[in-house]
Structures are given as C-alpha cells and as structure tokens.
A and B are shown apart, each in its own frame.
Chain A
Amino acid sequence: QVQLVESGGGVVQPGRSLRLSCAASGFTFSSYGMHWVRQAPGKGLEWVAAIWYDGSNKDYTDSVKGRFTISRDNSKNTLYLQMNSLRAEDTAVYYCARDVAGTIATPDYWGQGTLVTVSS
C-alpha cells in the first residue's frame, strides 16, 4: 500500500533553515508527481509546492518563492523540501502528498505530516 513518511520537522529560529524529507514506498515513486502541503495550527490546508515525476517542472505558492526548494531523488524514493529564511508564519504541519499523475493534477495519498515551529 502507498506509504509516505515525513521527517525533519522541529523547532527552528526565524531566519534559519530546515530540510524536510518524505520517504515513499508501496508505489513506483519515479512515476508520480509529488506535493508539499502545510496546515498552520487551527487553520486550513495551504498548498506549498509541487514537482513533476522526473523533477523537470516545479512550482511554488507565492509566499515561499525564493525561500523554499522542492526536489526529489528517484533513486532513493524520497521527496525533499529545503526551507530557508524561515518566518513565524511558516509554522505548520507539513504534509507530503502523491499526485494521481506523473505531471500534476490532484494530490491523492498523504503522509501523516511533520511539525515545523519557527520561534525564537
């Protein structure tokens, strides 16, 4: 069955960096697009970034452009999110999600999330 396990969350000071990982199993990782979606405490879901199956196309929500980088290593079945210049408003549970397609169409399976807290 599809499994997505996020890691790398924690408490970090404003302005610092953090890298999240998402280990995938139960499907052919290299065939599917992937997403990062976040949820601030008590708030709704917010799409953060997506990457095509081969890494050739990536896009981001405006608030993280220039600060966050999504990437993938298909040889390790792992998705990453490099987060730089973190701000208090980046505090959230970060979910990775598989897409139904190799390109990008719809997030379907989700991991359990990893909490990122940006605080001094």
Chain B
Amino acid sequence: QSALTQPASVSGSPGQSITISCTGTSSDVGSYNLVSWYQQHPGKAPKLMIYEVSKRPSGLSNRFSGSKSGNTASLTISGLQAEDEADYSCCSYAGSSTFVFGSGTKVTVL
C-alpha cells in the first residue's frame, strides 16, 4: 500500500493548461478504472473533481479532465484560473475494498 507518485508541485500562468501525473502499479491504477482526483484548499476538506478516471461530478467545470494510460493517471486543468491554486491528490482503488492516495501536488498559478 505505497502512496501513488505525484509531482510535488506544478505551476502555470492564468489561461494556460497544466497536467498532473499520478503513477501507481499494476495492482492499483493499472488494474481498476476507479481513479479519482481531489482539490484541497488550505484548511479545507477535499473536494471531488474527477471520478472513474475521467468523469466529472455534476456542476463541475469542464476545465478539469482526467485520463489514464497503463499505471499512470493524469489530471489536466485547462484555462488555469487563480482559484485553481490548491493541492490536488489522486486516489485509486487497490482491491478488496482498499484505496491508496497520491502524495499530493501543489498547483501554483503564477
């Protein structure tokens, strides 16, 4: 149950697109289409942004999109805005009702 690997930080200018990677193993990310992404502002609870690799919860901006290839999942934020500055964490089902989270990525809007 090792944490999924994410870059510690990613930055971009307003309007640009950024992509955050999330690398796991064939036992988690590679085996299940149950990868989710969470946004967390300082001192706040996480908010679900993407589930089942690429699905957006109702009402969420389509600037957020997800994908997966092999053991690596990705979150792309397009048209970066100031309010997107936050920590982002991926999460994958790992079998037998267990889950593993990523190490977290701090997104900075320059």
Q: Closest residue of chain B to A4, judged by CB?
A: B45
Interface residue count on the B side (C-beta < 8 Å) = 26
Contact with A along B28-58 (1 / 0, CB 8 A): 0000001010101000111110011000010
Q: Does A107 lie within 8 Å of B100, measured CB to CB?
A: no
Cβ distance A35 to chain B, nearest Cβ, rounded Å = 8
When distances are taken between beta carbons in the complex, the residues of chain B under 8 Å from A108 are 48, 51, 57
Interface residue count on the A side (C-beta < 8 Å) = 29
A45-B38, A47-B99, A59-B96 given; A107·B1 CB < 8 A: no
**Chain B residues near A (Cβ < 8 Å):** 1, 3, 34, 36, 38, 40, 44-48, 51-52, 57, 89, 91, 93, 96-104
Please name 16 further chain A to chain B contacts, defined as beta carbons within 8 Å, in addition to the given A35-B99, A44-B102, A105-B34, sorted by A numbering. Answer: A44-B3, A44-B101, A47-B101, A59-B96, A62-B1, A100-B51, A104-B99, A105-B52, A106-B51, A106-B93, A107-B36, A108-B48, A108-B57, A110-B45, A110-B46, A110-B47
